[in-house]
Amino acid sequence: MRKRFWKIEYSITIFVVFAALLLMIPSSVISSKEATYISKWNDTFHKIEYVFNAMAAQADAEIIKSFKKAKNNHERETIMIKLVKPYLRISEDDEITRKYDLYYMNGVKLKPEDEYYFDNVYLSEKSTIIGIKDIIDDDIYHPGFLMMFDMNGIKGPNTWGRDVYGINIFTDGKITPIGAGWDIDDLKKDCSPVGSGVSCSYYYRIGGEFSE
């Protein structure tokens, strides 16, 4: 009888341990992937920073005039695409026409009227999805464009702060990760499962910890 109970207890213990491992494995895999995306984002930001420094150095009066003469957001976005094309190897021909849904970190799907929703996204040669959005503003202290980067392309989760990050582009050519200038408490709250995740672009750049 005692031997039988021992087998039952042993079996239950094995089952519990196995179930715990099953629960832990997906989490560790997801964490590993997102840690990879964060590392890739940091590398991407360094490259983009170099790109815009180079663009600012080469910008001439004609380029500045072309932005001022642009009649709408789409025209300005087209000009910006032409400027970054030699560096990021994208063009209007690379625009993704299939459905591409974007999500906040809290799971909410972005709507067209949302600030961080992008109407037009493009696929680069390195399978990164790039979005450019004109938010023209006469105030030099606010960005003129937003730019997003999906680290693993069309594949999921397509979520801000997990595989999607972005930058502010100012009229003088300077860039900052989205979230720069935010209060640290706001950064922590936003870059979490209850937030939007957009500020993770900056939070992870300053050494913020990954939030599962």
Q: Where are the domains of the chain?
A: 29-203
How confident is residue 20, by pLDDT bands cut at 50, 70 and 90? very low
Evaluate the omega torsion of the peptide bond into residue 193 and state whether it is cis, within 30 degrees of 0.
Answer: no
Q: At what angle do helices 61-69 and 73-88 cross, to 10 degrees?
A: 140
pLDDT the model gives residue 176:
95
Give the pLDDT of residue 22.
39
Who has greater pLDDT, 93 or 195? 195
Measure the CA–CA gap between 33 and 22, rounded to whole angstroms.
17
Mean pLDDT of 121-149: 82
149 vs 171 pLDDT, higher one: 149
Looking up tokens 């023209």 gives 136
Band of residue 66 on the pLDDT scale cut at 50, 70, 90? confident
pTM (global) more than 0.85? no
91-117 CB burial, b ≥16 within 10 A, e <16: eeebeeeeeeebbbbeeeebeeeeebe
Please, which residues bridge with residue 95 across strands? Answer: 122
Question: Two tokens at 13?
Answer: 């213990």
For residue 170, with 0-12 CB atoms within 10 Å meaning exposed, 13-18 middle and 19 or more buried, which class applies? middle
Contacts of residue 31, Cβ cutoff 8 Å, sequence gap at least 6:
210, 212
pLDDT at 199 over 60: yes
pLDDT of residue 170: 85
